[in-house]
Amino acid sequence: MTVDVEDYFQVSAFEAAVNRSDWDRLPCRVEQNTDHILGLFDGHDVKATFFMLGWIAERYPQLVRRIVDAGHELASHGYSHVRVTQQQPQAFSEDVSKTKQLLEDIAGCEVQGYRAASYSIVNETLWAHDLLQEAGYHYSSSVYPIHHDLYGIPDAPRFSYRHKDGGLLEIPVTTVSLFNHNLPCGGGGYFRLLPYRVSRWAMRRVNGTDRMPCVFYFHPWEIDPEQPRQAGISGKTRFRHYLNLRHMRSRIGRLLDDFNWGRMDNVFLPDGEI
């Protein structure tokens, strides 16, 4: 179970409508929403991995500590949600190193995992895996093996694999294979769009037929139907972002009841390290 800790105005789909220079002037809701998630996890006795932006961690260090103190894994989501496809290798290396050190200084524990903004490790940015390993990360969860207009490596392995021989461990978000196509079933907008029973069936198929664990993700803003509505976005973006937010909290509750969940490091790094 994973949570990408970013606020509603930081999503990639809003890049053209929200200037980064305005972030500090916008009402932040990420702390209260993440606290709701912590309470939800506690009520279901679930431990998860929180991929946190460095920008959020700097402004809410106590939230970082509450996550760690509750027994969850802290991981990196980069500093300010810049897609890898928008960075040169040197800038990316500086970003992931800076964020790892920042999170570790605040939390007092090692940060082993990384997730790219909008799953932006794609065929053109596979060099990112080498730089993550150089920066001291043990794994990445940044590849989505599907066709998508913004991201995806459709022919990537569906389950955890090494980038090159002995390279960084990549743990893709879960897909279900039907008719030789990978279909998403690991969270995000698809989880809000489709009936819950479809997602439950797909994940049970992965567990039962593939006999593999599922990687699921969602964001704090997805449980917040009262978040400010953003002007100046397309109808497609509006549909994707706001669809079924009012149902998300109850769906997550059902998901926590229907499956056994754990932290990424405990599931995929049973010895705590590579």
Which pLDDT tens digit goes with each residue over 120-178? Answer: 999 999 999 999 999 999 999 999 998 776 777 888 999 999 998 889 999 999 999 98
Strand partners, 75: 51
CATH superfamily of 2-268: Glycoside hydrolase/deacetylase (3.20.20.370)
**DSSP readout, 227-242?**
SPPPSS--HHHHHHHH
Instruction: Report the pLDDT value the prediction gives residue 149, as an integer from 0 to 100.
Output: 64
Residue with tokens 């970082």: 64
The per-type count for the chain, helices as H runs and strands as E runs, is 10, 10
Q: Which pair of tokens denotes residue 198?
A: 């479809």
Map 139-177 to HEC letters: EECCCCCCCCCCCCCCCCCCCCEECCCCCCEECCCCEEE
Average pLDDT of the chain to the nearest whole number = 95
End-to-end CA separation in angstroms for the chain: 20
What is the average pLDDT across 35-53? 98
Indicate the pTM of the whole model. 0.95
Which pLDDT tens digit goes with each residue over 212-230? Answer: 999 999 999 999 999 999 9
Which DSSP state fits 26? S
* Residue 76 three-state SS: strand
**CA-closest candidate to residue 110, choices 81, 144, 135, 85:** 135
Which pLDDT tens digit goes with each residue over 234-248? Answer: 999 999 999 999 999
R_g of the chain, CA atoms, integer Å: 17
